[in-house]
Amino acid sequence: MSLAYTATLDFAAPRHLMDRPQTFDFELPRYLAPFQVNRLPTYRFDVLVLGSGVAGCSAAMAAAAAGSSVAILAKDELAETNTYYAQGGVAAVLGAEDSFEAHLADTVEVGCGLCDTDAVDRIVRGGPAAIETLIAAGVAFDRGAGGELDLSREGGHSHARIVHAGGAATGIEIQRALAESVRRTPDIALFTGCFAIDLISGANGRVIGVLAWSARSELVLFSAAQVILATGGAGQLFRETTNPAIATGDGVAMAVRAGAVVRDMEFFQFHPTCLYIAGAARVLVSEIVRGAGGVLLDKNRVRFMPEYHEKAELAPRDVVSRACFRRMVETNDTSVYLDLSGLERDPHQLFPHISRICQYFDIDIKRDPIPVRPGAHYMVGGIAVDADGRTSVAGLWAVGECSSSGLHGANRMGSNSLLEGLVCGARAGERAAADARDFPLIPIEARLRVERARGSSDVRLGIQDMTYSLKSLMWRQMGIVRSGAAIKDAESKLEFWARAVDRLATPDPRAVELQNMLTIARLAALSALAREESRGTHYREDFPEPRAPWRAHTVLAPRSDAEGVRSVTLSRDRVRESVGAR
């Protein structure tokens, strides 16, 4: 059997508001690499987890504890994840003056009316137990003089509820402890340096495995009863980002090719404070620094955030990012400046990780303002999932940043993402293990063969150049401030590039990453073009205010015609009334 099929995605124009869809053609190959099952080595597990961050490790350990054989596929080393680079901490209700109701209300307010309050409530209530699980795993959280957990406050939070480690090195500590835990778990097999290419579909579209490149650069198959995507975000779509090089949206792109529903792809969160030194990699300067009293200044050393929001530096991240962007434009400067000189405690002791990084550039954070600028930080939208992490495709689950669980709405509140990964990861792992017992492994058909005509002897694809062009285009036209004309122009260019890459690319990891990035970028652009309003992280200067009819999710749902050609319709899924909706 030979397969080589293309999907056409249909998108509804915003003016119809869910009434009548308007179609846009969107060609997308089902599989990116040719393969023949009976010629490839195959590994078999009950549960296969793609990704080794907080969500992936939590899912894997929960599935193993429930009796499943589990494998983790890590694109790089086990510790190279978005979790590792998370500085702020984990939001959890632990203080006497705090409450689950307050955490829920804060989250929904920041989410600008698109949060699922049931999902928020469930995840928020799982916070204390998640912290206890991390402590049991060996995470050394920062504590006060009396041994109590040191709780900090970040933007959008009404109470101090951020549990952190090493000041602003929380992700490093959590990733260390979780990596050690999975290594000690005998029922979890680890495959590092293993790049997943595509989800393998069986009868009726059920996901039954994964095609991947092994660490030895050979194609391999992983057959599994249940597959959990915990592949993180897509910050590498943008020229300025806090994300590591592995964050190229692979999981979401694979899921789309397999027919999964995705939603809210227009929402990307930009973190307002990335260390900006020309030529150096962007380093996140955590929001916890502003929570401790750090203030933002322009190049004239004027504090500007009180002009933009009553909460000043502790305003939601989208507000602070836009304020920084505008101030940079107004002052014709490449950055703004984060000043810690007014902190009551020594910033070197409070934030040793940030202090050490800044010292490389001769910046004394107690005396010198830190040059910062916004950068792409978190993919708010993703694969639509239910309360357990199930996607719309049988056998496929998604947790963490690659998923759309309903927690974040239109804008993620700081330190809720690690919380989501812990709570949702464990729940998905447990439920996937149960489903693995009820729906045993279905072997991948040995005769399955996929053929793809790829490459050209006449034209070479400059992957590095096109990747940089993509990142620059997205930063200019799909960044912090957008407009309909700029988005439409970007989508046209992305469509042209996607066709060229599909025809010219040879099947290797860098080319597949580029194809995944182009897929996510196009879905984001079309969704952003459809949302003719500003809400949360999505700001359009031609529609600068939120509009009540648009308090709905942007849903891309697959369907099939009589010939089995899959398509996706972009529609609106209305959100019920909730706290803080606007």
How far apart, in whole angstroms, are the C-alpha atoms of residue 61 and residue 267?
Answer: 30
100-105 long-range contacts, CB within 8 A, separation 24+: 100/124, 100/125, 102/158, 102/159, 103/127, 103/157, 103/159, 103/161, 104/579, 105/158, 105/579, 105/580
How far apart, in whole angstroms, are the C-alpha atoms of residue 44 and residue 559?
Answer: 30
Catalytic residues: 317
How many CB atoms sit inside 10 A of residue 573's CB?
Answer: 15
Residue 368: what residue type?
D
How far apart, in whole angstroms, are the C-alpha atoms of residue 478 and residue 270?
Answer: 11
Residue of 211, 206, 205 lying closest to 223 (CA atoms): 211
> Where would I find the H helices in 368-483?
416-438, 463-477
How far apart, in whole angstroms, are the C-alpha atoms of residue 97 and residue 103?
Answer: 11
How far apart, in whole angstroms, are the C-alpha atoms of residue 238 and residue 524?
Answer: 12
How far apart, in whole angstroms, are the C-alpha atoms of residue 463 and residue 506?
Answer: 10
How far apart, in whole angstroms, are the C-alpha atoms of residue 575 and residue 546?
Answer: 14
How many CB atoms sit inside 10 A of residue 435's CB?
Answer: 18
Q: Residue by residue, what is the 3-state secondary structure of 219-257? A: EEEEEEEEEEECCCCCHHHCCCECCCCCCCCHHHHHHHH
Residue 578: what residue type?
S
How many CB atoms sit inside 10 A of residue 261's CB?
Answer: 19
Cβ neighbors of 503 (< 8 A, separation 6 or more) are 456
Q: Computed from CA positions of residues 141, 417, 386, 81, in that sequence, does the dihedral angle turn out positive or negative? A: negative
First to last CA, the chain: 52
Cβ neighbors of 249 (< 8 A, separation 6 or more) are 233, 234, 236, 237, 379, 402, 516, 517, 519, 520
Residue of 324, 327, 316 lying closest to 287 (CA atoms): 316
Q: HSE of 424 in the Cβ direction (CA atoms, 13 Å)?
A: 33
DSSP β-ladder status, 382-384 and 403-404: parallel
How far apart, in whole angstroms, are the C-alpha atoms of residue 59 and residue 227?
Answer: 11
